[in-house]
Structure 1
Amino acid sequence: MFVVDQGLNKITKIANKTFQELGIREREHLQEWIADNTECLGEELLIIQKEFDGFDDTNERLDLLALDKNGDLVIIENKLDDSGRDVTWQALKYVSYCHTLTKPQIKEIYQSYLDKNMTGEDAEENIEEFFNGEPFQEIALNENDQRMILVAGKFRKEVTSTVLWLIDHGIKVQCFKVSPYEFESKILLDIEQIIPVKETQELMIKMTDKKRQVMENKELNHKRYEIRKEFWGQLLEKFNTMSDQYKNVNPNKDHWLSSGSGVSGVPFSFVITRSYAAVEVLINVGGQAENKRIFDALYQSIQDIEKNLGSPLFWQRLDDKKSSRISYRLEDVNYFNRDDWDKIIEFLCKAMINFVRVIKEPLKQAAH
């Protein structure tokens, strides 16, 4: 690594150091840096546990346990200047321990991590936010293969050879070389993915067995999307005979279907999940403060709104989130169960008309 002196039009080499020389420790420093900013590994990950030791009949601990955007578990093992000979075997053991973790167990592990760090946050809400608002019931966790990420200053040949063999046989492994430098009393850190080489990673994946488990998951998602589109088609067919609100809206693959409310950034939506159906208004006009102001203004009229509707609403200010939500729900229904469809559609059609009737004008007033 070099630093550029533009005045002299020259480059000067920066001193390459070892972690040992700099007094950097694995758990105290490197592990914390990665956990704090997983984008150093080239993607956004959700860290759900550090030094995880929840394995039966063993006291072994894996460094970092995370979720990726596909819902796969990611086992991250960190070493400093030398990977050692056994890091691949070590990571494989942890993968074998983690592959049986269920969705409730993952939630429990993450909640334990949050509680230990006294964040006051809720695991389910954080997971939903990580998956862009997808309801927790809809999110598939650890249903595919697990992944391994190995981080070290130097990888021994026996490690890289094993990793390449694993990749060739469809096991998802990445190696990141981490190199510390010292410049003007500051420590610089270069983190580079060396296996698979970033530029050829996609090609290497295509040369495996096409990721059988990933393909199966895609088929499952495709089935889910097709069910949603079919359901929305039937809903719109009925609702459009009762209201013009969704006349220009087409069925889609999402678990929600939105239309305008007359206030920018505050759509009305139908919502379907595996445990409830709802009509809702999502307040997301821009800044968090403005969203909370609109919500609070509406909440001041809660008695009049719920009296006019004839039913209580579900008010979610979501103090630690940017947006806020108000919904009218039907519990204990599942859009995957076609026997529930008539009941859900009947509720959603009537609920949306009444919901809009009682909240549209108060919403306009609150937004101005």
Structure 2
Amino acid sequence: MPQDIRVWDVCTTGNLSEIKKSKLDFEQRIQDWLEQDISIISPNLLVIGKEVQTDYGGFIDLLCLDQKGDIFIIELKRGKTPREVTAQALDYASWVKYLSNDHITNIANSYLMNKYNLELDKAFQKTFKIELPEVINTNHHILIVASEIDSSSERIINYLSESYGVSINAVTFQYFRSEDGRELLARVFLIEPNQVEENTQRQNNSKRQPNLSYAELEEIARRHGLEKIYFELYTNLVDKYFTVVSTTRSSLSFKKSNKTIFTLIPVESNGEKGLKFRIYTTRFSESWGIDLENIIDLLPSSKYAWENYPSATPDWCGHEGFFKTLDEVDIFIAGLHKITQNGNYTRT
């Protein structure tokens, strides 16, 4: 139900003076305010994109991440929200649903580097005081912003949330201007945010899938006939070079100082190509004081340059490829050991 908000100023005399609602160049000003301070919607969001173009020709007004790595689609419309805006927001969500980690990182870095000279991982840590999750966009949420919500849109949003657990909500902002020129903004959610979350969890029974276990990743490698390669790499890298190892839905990540440096990806491997790996060569070089050329020389012949996003900084670049034989694993491990012990290595 649309809410009529009224605001009074408590004067020094003790009398009340109503502050009249005013017209607002809503869409542009509220978008600017939200971009500058997204906490007026939620303190747990980080803006990672503005006017983000989808593959379907539309533009998402604001794209955000929360501290769990979920995506928030924020769509703004001037005046009363027509029924079409709900369909448009759902269309955007159908595109966002399939965005990969790399695609989202690319969007975020393009925006954040231009605005704050920060990459996504650093901006995320600065905002939430925690590391960026290995997997982002497990879930996505829709928030429609307007000065008023028409009854048809209200019914549709409530129906989607209550009946199907779609994480969708609307928030209205009403603008007031006092006689002395002070500006005030009032915010009302159509559905209480915690209720939206409860509806979603009830319908989907917490659809966020857990990361694969070490045993599950090893089993995937075994099914591809790569268990010996996987085992040799794992046992020779853990403890000797890496003390922090974590899993995702597809990979085993070896870390140092909370940064992923080397990754094994059984899910993208096969018996013909071998066990897929990814290495952040600059991070590897800086962690052990090894020349980049020596690191690259240790890698299997089936390798190619890789970057996390177009024109990425060296910290987000490296190589990926495949370990196809145990001989390639032996060369990599033996060479790594020799370099870290003696500081040089010549491949024979």
Name the TM-score, length of structure 2 as normaliser.
Answer: 0.58
Structure 1 residue 95, shift from structure 2 partner:
2.2
- Correspondence list, 1:180-191, <5 A: 180-182=175-177, 185-191=181-187
Quote the offset at 1:31 in angstroms: 1.6
| 1:226 to partner: Cα distance | 4.2
Which secondary structure does the structure 2 equivalent of 1:119 belong to?
helix
Say yes or no: does 1:159 pair with 2:153.
yes
**The residue matched to 1:208 in structure 2 has which SS?**
helix
Structure 2 counterpart of 1:68:
65
In 2 relative to 1, CA 2–358 (structure 1 residues): closer, same or farther, beyond 3 Å?
A: farther
SS of equivalent to 1:218: coil
Aligned 8 A contact 1:77 1:150 in 2: yes
CA distance in structure 2 between the aligned counterparts of 1:97 and 1:271, rounded to whole angstroms: 32
The structure-2 alpha-carbon separation of the partners of 1:34 and 1:358, relative to structure 1 and needing over 3 Å to count, comes to: farther
CA RMSD, 1 decimal: 5.6
- CA separation of 1:114 and 1:121: change in aligned 2, threshold 3 A: farther
Superposition deviation, residue 120 in structure 1 = 9.5
1:25 aligns with 2:9: no
SS at match of 2:165: coil
Aligned length: 296
Is the CA contact (8 Å cut-off) linking 2:54 and 2:92 kept in structure 1?
no
**Structure-2 separation of matches of 1:50 and 1:129:** 22
| Distance of 2:51 and 2:119 partners within structure 1 | 17
1:177 is matched with which residue?
A: 172
Can you list the C-alpha shifts for 1:43-91, whole angstroms capped at 9, x where unaligned?
A: 32444342858636xxxx55515253577664422245x434x24x322
1:222 to 212, 226, 232: 212
User: Which structure 2 residue ranges, 5 or more long, are not aligned?
Assistant: 1-6, 126-130, 222-229, 269-275, 300-304
- 1:166 Cα offset (Å): 0.8
Change (3 A) 1:257 1:66: same
For 1:44, the equivalent position in structure 2 comes to 45
CA distance in 2, matches of 1:257, 1:331: 14
Q: CA deviation at 1:233?
A: 6.8
Between the aligned partners of 1:14 and 1:39, the Cα distance in structure 2 is 28
Do the aligned residues in 1 keep the contact of 2:263 with 2:278 (CA within 8 Å)? yes
Say which SS state the counterpart of residue 68 (structure 1) adopts. strand
In structure 2, C-alpha distance between the alignment counterparts of 1:12 and 1:340, rounded to whole Å: 82
Q: Specify every segment of 5 or more residues in structure 1 that has no aligned partner in the other structure, as ranges.
A: 260-264, 284-294, 334-338, 361-368
Measured in 2, the distance between the counterparts of 1:47 and 1:153 equals: 24
Q: Is the 8 A contact 1:309 1:355 kept in 2?
A: no
CA distance in 1, matches of 2:216, 2:165: 29
Q: Distance in 2 between matches of 1:353 and 1:27?
A: 59
Counterpart-to-counterpart distance in 1, 2:88 and 2:296 = 57
- 8 Å CA contact 2:277–2:320 kept in 1: the answer is yes
1:129-164, CA deviations, whole angstroms, 9 ceiling, x for partnerless residues? 6777879xx7566x76x5321112333333322211
Distance 1:2 1:234 in 2: 72
Q: Mark the CA change 1:234 to 1:118 in structure 2 (over 3 Å): closer, same or farther.
A: closer
Change (3 A) 1:79 1:3: same
The correspondence for 1:204, drawn from 190, 199, 205, is 199
Partner-residue secondary structure (3-state), 1:196: coil
Distance 1:358 1:131, change over 3 A: farther
> Residues 355 and 195 of structure 1: is their aligned pair in 2 closer, same or farther, counting only changes over 3 Å?
farther
Alpha-carbon distance in 1 for matches of 2:292, 2:124: 31
The residue type equivalent to 2:337 in the other structure is I
Structure 2 counterpart of 1:331, from 317, 320, 325: 320
Q: What is the distance in 2 between the residues matched to 1:90 and 1:52? A: 16
Aligned-pair identity in percent equals 12
Instruction: Write out per-residue CA displacement over residues 260-299 of structure 1, whole angstroms, 9 at most, x where no aligned residue.
Output: xxxxx6989544456643376759xxxxxxxxxxx7xx9x
| Structure 2 residue aligned with 1:147 | 141
Change (3 A) 1:157 1:279: closer
**Per-residue deviation, 1:29:** 1.1
Q: Provide closer, same or farther for how the CA distance between residues 345 and 182 of structure 1 changes in structure 2, counting only shifts above 3 A.
A: farther
Q: Rate the CA distance shift 1:230–1:282 in 2: closer, same or farther, 3 A.
A: farther
Specify which structure has the higher proportion of strand. 2
Distance 2:20 2:214 in 1: 51
Alpha-carbon contact 1:31-1:63 (below 8 Å) kept: no
